[in-house]
Amino acid sequence: MPAVPARFHAPDAAAAGDLVTLPEDESEHLTRVLRLTAGAEVRVFNGRGGEFDSVVEAAGRDGVRIRVGEPRDPAPEPRLGVTLAQAVLKGDKMDDVVRDAVMIGATAVRPFVSTRTEVTAATLAKSHRRDRWQRIAVSSAKQCGRAVVPTVFEPVSFDALIKTLLENWLAGPALMLVEPGAAKAAVAFGELEVETPKAVTVVVGPEGGWTPEELEAASAVCRLVTMGHRTLRADTMGLVATAAVFARWKEF
């Protein structure tokens, strides 16, 4: 028996006494990987902030049922909500981006397809990529101890992203990360004049960067920001920027 009970994602867990069925991935993890059986003490989180001491009621071929016990205080969520708007990256790099965003404490991930993105929206839809990223978000929440599973939105076009940012204008600033020297209008992150916001959207481009047209279109709704004088890799930019946002506005 491990010192700290294993944690599982049980989206239906709402209150002590509930008898809930685990999703298939979670059942597999419980029975095949951890080899737990009826009577085992576990913890479950519902992905919306609820976390409970629980007990395995039945673990068989027809799935795992859990008797939900007393609620626990979950790991506190950041007061400052960060949405990571990330241009889809090559290969499976987006998997790491989603995993890291959830780990550091992002509220949501909003993938988009920009001019230099090397994957098309059609390919993403056909391969059910969003479902995959959402599963990765669950798995990362398990590992990092969050009781909230951030939403990974359906990938949208760059134009649709800009429209969403405009609609959410009042919620908080959008910071578009640009390479040092890539845009004259960009300012250093530390020189941004922003009062402690309630929410921030961090906008990160693909490996090939932004086109001049995208920089122009975004500058109406985003602050163009540089982070240091080196060229950061596209697949670490979101993590670095979120860490900087959290450090600057006292979330860390």
Binding site for a copy of itself (CB under 8 A): 75-78, 100, 103-105, 143-146, 180, 188-190, 227-233, 236, 239-241, 243-248, 250-252
Task: Report in angstroms how near the CB of residue 77 gets to a copy of itself at its nearest.
Answer: 8
Task: Report in angstroms how near the CB of residue 159 gets to a copy of itself at its nearest.
Answer: 27
What are the residue ranges of helices labelled H in the chain? Answer: 24-28, 93-104, 121-126, 129-144, 158-167, 212-218, 234-248
- Mutual angle of helices 93-104 and 129-144, in 10-degree steps: 40
What is the phi-psi region of residue 89: left when phi exceeds 0, alpha when psi lies from -120 to 50, beta otherwise?
beta
Number of alpha helices (DSSP H) and beta strands (DSSP E) in the chain: 7, 13
Q: Please, which residue, 23 or 105, has the CB nearer to a copy of itself?
A: 105
Q: Please, which residue, 65 or 248, has the CB nearer to a copy of itself?
A: 248
Cα 68 to Cα 45, 71, 144, 193: the distances in Å are 10, 8, 21, 47
Task: Report in angstroms how near the CB of residue 154 gets to a copy of itself at its nearest.
Answer: 25
Backbone angles phi, psi at 63, to 5 degrees: 110, 180
Q: Please, which residue, 63 or 172, has the CB nearer to a copy of itself?
A: 172
Task: Report in angstroms how near the CB of residue 225 gets to a copy of itself at its nearest.
Answer: 9
Task: Report in angstroms how near the CB of residue 118 gets to a copy of itself at its nearest.
Answer: 18
Q: Please, which residue, 20 or 234, has the CB nearer to a copy of itself?
A: 234
β-partners of residue 19 are: 67
Task: Report in angstroms how near the CB of residue 179 gets to a copy of itself at its nearest.
Answer: 9
Nearest partner of 173 among 76, 249, 102, judged by Cα: 249
Nearest partner of 60 among 13, 89, 28, judged by Cα: 28
Q: Please, which residue, 81 or 155, has the CB nearer to a copy of itself?
A: 81
Q: Please, which residue, 141 or 222, has the CB nearer to a copy of itself?
A: 141
